[in-house]
């Protein structure tokens, strides 16, 4: 993304790049954000200036008192790095592999819903940005583009995140489509039940046409043009399985050969169970503080999960990554790679594909700088001792 000076930014807004988001010049007049984003927080300001308030709130907020949301970033900030001096390291290899896939940096894009609300190109832009930087996009089954559309948007590797349809016939067809479209793994999100005051206050929902397409894309062919938003919302609530248990994974194994990743694990015994079931990856996550409020940060739970898993599955972490130093801490405590949610949504809102690319570049450069300061030659070799107990 080219640096934006204030006049460029004004022209860019006036040119109507973001009229579909309902933003006029007044947003620019009011915005006090830095013009050239240099860190993730700058992108948050740009997104705030561009998005309608209810959409910004949907992305930003956590459940009820938002204790977990705040804890996600606070827990990273409490951890201290203790680097050895004089290591003579001048560069770091950021590349690694995840589930056998080579990536250029250990930072993936987490599955995020409703992406066409943040930018008209939505997940297609995110897919292109991920491919350009050399990483993986986790595609939400609520992304608002179909699995096939996102698959075709770039040649880069992608994982598909599943909210499991109650109707197992529809679930099977969806997973088969995902596999046929070339996705490299299936993420099953297991932390469910969002309760966000701002969204309830704002009566946040997808525009009806986006909702209709989203449901049809998942395979719900009986969603009709005549259905009202309230009817579609009720349909959607009824259609998703919120009561599945561990047996789901055995069933999924009968449907697909794709590697299976469980997303939303915080307890060591759940991680052990995932390993016993032969799952390939575990995402230590509290869904960015959007699920049960009061849960601990994922970085706090990572060491216990890593000890329980003992190298028998790949461990990933999300929730609260905002800086390259956060990535170093996660790698040191046992993650193979991390995922980001809000940071790339802010980039997408600010400038589509270029914005997401820039977010990834900023985190990549911060990570590189931090690893050199820590004397690490590779992201595959970040010692536990870097993080003070
Ligand atoms: C706006 C928004 C929508 C999300 N939608 C999904 C989703 O559809 N499926 C899912 O598994 N996780 C979803 N998540 C959670 C992310 O995958 C990820 O766990 C979280 O954003 C990580 O925290 P961070 O935002 O602090 O990086 C969503 C997160 C946000 C911010």
Report the SS3 class of residue 187.
strand
Q: How far is CA 101 from the centre of its chain?
A: 18
Look at residues 161, 181, 363, 146 and name the one whose alpha carbon lies nearest to residue 281: 161
How remote is the CA of residue 87 from the centroid of ligand 1, in Å?
37
pLDDT at residue 163, as a whole number: 96
- Is 314 part of a structural domain of the chain? yes
Atom of ligand 1 nearest to the CA of 138: 17
Atom of ligand 1 nearest to the CA of 73: 26
Cα 303 to Cα 79: distance, rounded to the nearest angstrom: 13
- Is 61 part of a structural domain of the chain? no
pLDDT at residue 10, as a whole number: 43
- Is 71 part of a structural domain of the chain? yes
- Is 59 part of a structural domain of the chain? no
List the helix and strand counts (H, then E) for the chain.
Answer: 16, 10
* Phi, psi for 276 (deg, rounded to 5): -60, -30
Q: Which residues line ligand 1 (CB under 6 A)?
A: 58-59, 72, 110-113, 140, 142, 161, 189, 263, 285, 287-288, 290, 318-321, 340-342, 345
Q: Whose CA is nearest to atom 14 of ligand 1?
A: 112
Name every residue whose Cβ is closer than 8 Å to that of residue 52 and which is 6 or more positions away in sequence: 21, 22, 23
Name every residue whose Cβ is closer than 8 Å to that of residue 258 and which is 6 or more positions away in sequence: 175, 178, 179, 183, 184, 185, 186
Largest CA distance in the chain: 69
Look at residues 331, 379, 368, 376 and name the one whose alpha carbon lies nearest to residue 88: 376
Number of domains in the chain: 1
- Is 154 part of a structural domain of the chain? yes
How remote is the CA of residue 352 from the centroid of ligand 1, in Å?
18
* Phi, psi for 161 (deg, rounded to 5): -100, 130
- Is 299 part of a structural domain of the chain? yes
**Length of the chain as a residue count:** 389
Candidate of 107, 217, 288, 318 to mutate for ligand 1, largest count of ligand atoms within 8 Å of Cβ: 288
Q: How far apart are the first and last CA of the chain?
A: 39
Cα 76 to Cα 267: distance, rounded to the nearest angstrom: 19
- For the annotated catalytic residues, the residue numbers are 287
* Full residue range of the structural domain in which residue 266 is found: 67-386
Name every residue whose Cβ is closer than 8 Å to that of residue 224 and which is 6 or more positions away in sequence: none
* Phi, psi for 187 (deg, rounded to 5): -100, 125
3-class DSSP string for 247-302: HHHHHHHHHCCCCEEEEEECCHHHHHHHHHCCCCEEEECCHHHCCCCCCCCHHHHH
- Is 193 part of a structural domain of the chain? yes
Neighbours of 333 (CB within 10 A): 23
What CATH number is attached to the domain comprising 248? 3.20.20.70
pLDDT at residue 261, as a whole number: 99
Question: Which positions of the chain have pLDDT values less than 70?
Answer: 1-34
Class of residue 364 by CB neighbours under 10 A (exposed 0-12, middle 13-18, buried 19+):
buried
pLDDT at residue 193, as a whole number: 84
How remote is the CA of residue 85 from the centroid of ligand 1, in Å?
37
pLDDT at residue 214, as a whole number: 97
Name every residue whose Cβ is closer than 8 Å to that of residue 157 and which is 6 or more positions away in sequence: 101, 103, 136, 184
Look at residues 54, 50, 56, 4 and name the one whose alpha carbon lies nearest to residue 31: 50
* Orientation of helix 40-50 relative to helix 53-60, angle to 10°: 150
pLDDT at residue 18, as a whole number: 36
Atom of ligand 1 nearest to the CA of 343: 27
| Helical (H) or strand (E) element with 139 | strand 137-140
How many CA atoms does the CB half-sphere of 332 hold within 13 Å? 26
Look at residues 310, 329, 332 and name the one whose alpha carbon lies nearest to residue 319: 329
pLDDT at residue 225, as a whole number: 96
Cα 6 to Cα 103: distance, rounded to the nearest angstrom: 35
In the numeric block, which tokens belong to residue 227? Answer: 């259905």
Measured over the CA atoms of residue 321, residue 185, residue 290 and residue 277, the dihedral's sign is negative
Cα 120 to Cα 123: distance, rounded to the nearest angstrom: 9
Cα 38 to Cα 170: distance, rounded to the nearest angstrom: 44
């Amino acid at each position: 993304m080219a640096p934006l000076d204030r006049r460029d930014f004004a022209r860019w807004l006036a040119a109507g790049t973001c009229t579909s988001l309902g933003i006029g010049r007044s947003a620019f007049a009011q915005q006090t954000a830095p013009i050239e984003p240099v860190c993730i927080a700058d992108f948050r300001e740009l997104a705030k200036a561009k998005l309608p308030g209810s959409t910004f709130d949907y992305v930003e907020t956590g459940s009820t008192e938002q204790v977990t949301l705040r804890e996600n970033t606070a827990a990273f900030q409490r951890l201290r790095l203790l680097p050895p001096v004089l290591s003579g390291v001048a560069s770091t290899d950021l590349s690694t592999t995840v589930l056998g896939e080579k990536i250029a940096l250990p930072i993936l894009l987490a599955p995020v819903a409703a992406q066409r609300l943040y930018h008209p190109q939505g997940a297609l832009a995110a897919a292109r940005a991920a491919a350009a930087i050399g990483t993986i996009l986790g595609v939400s089954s609520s992304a608002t583009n179909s699995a096939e559309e996102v698959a075709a948007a770039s040649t880069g590797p992608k994982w598909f995140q599943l909210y499991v349809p109650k109707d197992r016939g529809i679930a099977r067809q969806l997973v088969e489509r995902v596999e046929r479209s070339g996705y490299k793994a299936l993420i099953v999100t297991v932390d469910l039940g969002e309760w966000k005051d701002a969204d309830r206050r704002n009566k946040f929902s997808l525009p009806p046409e986006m909702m209709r397409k989203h449901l049809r894309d998942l395979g719900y062919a009986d969603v009709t043009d005549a259905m009202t938003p309230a009817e579609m919302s009720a349909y959607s609530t009824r259609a998703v399985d919120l009561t599945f248990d561990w047996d789901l994974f055995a069933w999924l194994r009968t449907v697909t050969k794709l590697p299976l990743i469980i997303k939303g694990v915080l307890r060591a015994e759940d991680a052990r169970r995932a390993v016993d079931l032969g799952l390939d990856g575990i995402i230590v996550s509290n869904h960015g503080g959007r699920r049960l409020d009061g849960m601990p940060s994922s970085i706090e739970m990572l060491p216990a999960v890593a000890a329980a898993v003992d190298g028998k599955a790949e461990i990933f972490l999300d929730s609260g990554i905002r800086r390259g130093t956060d990535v170093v801490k996660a790698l040191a405590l046992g993650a193979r790679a991390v995922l980001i949610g809000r940071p790339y949504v802010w980039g997408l809102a600010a400038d589509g594909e270029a914005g997401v690319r820039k977010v990834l570049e900023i985190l990549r450069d911060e990570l590189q700088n931090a690893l050199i300061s820590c004397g690490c030659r590779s992201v595959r070799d970040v010692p536990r001792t870097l993080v003070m107990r």
